[in-house]
A and B are shown apart, each in its own frame.
Chain A
């Protein structure tokens, strides 16, 4: 996964009055991606993530994203009003928290509104693989819904829901009833919609591992890190300055903490927390483990904490 790099806007297409699709490309080869992947755009107002909508198996050195204009001063507004063909955009990725599982025999997609975007790459991908799928799509108005033309390609497999909440709920349930082994479910849309679909799969006893929502996201980097005090093994008192990590301080003091990634991913630099409040910034520890452990390369104490560092720190 590449860190920040520039891509060029090659094409902009007005999909609906509210939605524009952007084609981004690069002179050098861009990395391949999988269905369900997204790209992070680094915009003046901050980082924004958008699903890639092209077929990963037919990608020709370009990334396509679809952006719905939601507010007057956010990232989507910027992309809609200020970005033009030929402009450069700083991006990173692609990354994927919503991968398609190849072992599925049949896939049911549930989308609402602009939540359709990850499925725009999944549907052609599964078609290329010769796998069956269906899309259940909740929209305000069928004919003016995002990517209506696009979806007409799959008339047999697409079901539109545009009724009340109660009606939608009933339709979702009907769509999920009497499903066969090997079925996988993917959901994307507003929180309430995702909840409704996921709850229904629970009621109908779908194993949770075949129901896919956007999974874990990277932990946020701690902004404005502050200094904090650490008591180690009930003795030494150290001060971790704002511009250093706990791991660096411990290593400087000669504690034998092992480490590898320094990114909160590998879990090597774990220490035991015996007191105080910790801001966790890793993507490794489970919620349970966070109760008394921290990864010293990225996570920080608040004010004063106490930790234990064992003599040998194999995981």
Chain B
């Protein structure tokens, strides 16, 4: 279970340029007398420059990631000792669907059937969600006449 962000004393927000305004907004929303909220804007999440910054954070702090590539940054953070529950990802991105046939991830607008951009299989997104891939598993749709 995730704790409310308000319960942390220290929060680090890392954002790319595109999501800067949103990140600033989040910072203003959280900042108060007992809470230190640091914002770091970089050109691209997951470009490997944040490792030092992440490992310098005080114990018990929360991490908010805004932007594309948050997943790579999250994995770096976990390898540095963050608990997965202390990491929050904010993106405008829609649902991500993991193709069970070729492992390609497609961004979706709805939960409806779709065709994998990579392998062209017809897929159906499911409730099976991986917080590691931040994606839902999509199963192949069977076409009965197909043999």
Which A residues form the contact surface with B (CB < 8 A)? Answer: 103-105, 178-183, 204-207, 209-210
Contacts and interface: CB of A to CB of B under 8 A. Distances in A.
**Chain B interface SS verdict (over half):** loop
Contacts of A183: 59, 81
Interface string B28-65: 00000000000000000000000000111111110000
B82 interface: yes
Nearest to B61: A181
B9 interface: yes
B119 interface: no
Contacts of A207: 59-60, 83, 86
B18 interface: no
Q: Which of B57, B59, B83 has the largest number of chain A CB atoms within 10 A?
A: B59
Nearest to B59: A179
Contact of B58 (A105, A180, A210): A180
Nearest to A201: B59
B9 A181 contact: no
Interface residues of B, number: 14
Nearest to A104: B81
A179 B10 CA distance: 13
Q: Which of B57, B61, B83, B86 has the largest number of chain A CB atoms within 10 A?
A: B83
B80 interface: yes
A178 B58 contact: yes
Contacts of B82: 181-182
B55 A182 contact: yes
Given A181-B82, A204-B60, 10 more contacts: A105-B55, A105-B81, A178-B58, A180-B58, A181-B54, A181-B55, A181-B61, A181-B80, A181-B81, A182-B59
Contacts of B54: 181
A206 B59 contact: yes
29 contacts: A104-B81, A105-B55, A105-B81, A179-B59, A180-B55, A180-B56, A180-B58, A180-B59, A181-B54, A181-B55, A181-B57, A181-B58, A181-B59, A181-B80, A181-B82, A182-B55, A182-B59, A182-B80, A183-B81, A204-B59, A204-B60, A205-B59, A205-B60, A206-B59, A207-B59, A207-B60, A207-B86, A209-B83, A210-B59
Contacts of A105: 55, 80-81
Q: Which of A178, A179, A204, A205 has the largest number of chain B CB atoms within 10 A?
A: A205
Interface of B: 9, 54-61, 80-83, 86
Contacts of A103: 81
A207 B7 CA distance: 12
Contacts of B9: 205
Nearest to B81: A182
Contacts of B80: 105, 181-182
A180 B51 CA distance: 13
Nearest to A209: B83
Nearest to A182: B81
Contacts of A181: 54-55, 57-61, 80-82
A250 B137 CA distance: 44
B71 to A, nearest CB: 19
A130 to B, nearest CB: 15
A179 B58 contact: yes
A54 B124 CA distance: 54
A104 B81 CA distance: 6
Nearest to A103: B81
Contacts of B58: 178-181
Contacts of A182: 55, 59, 80-82
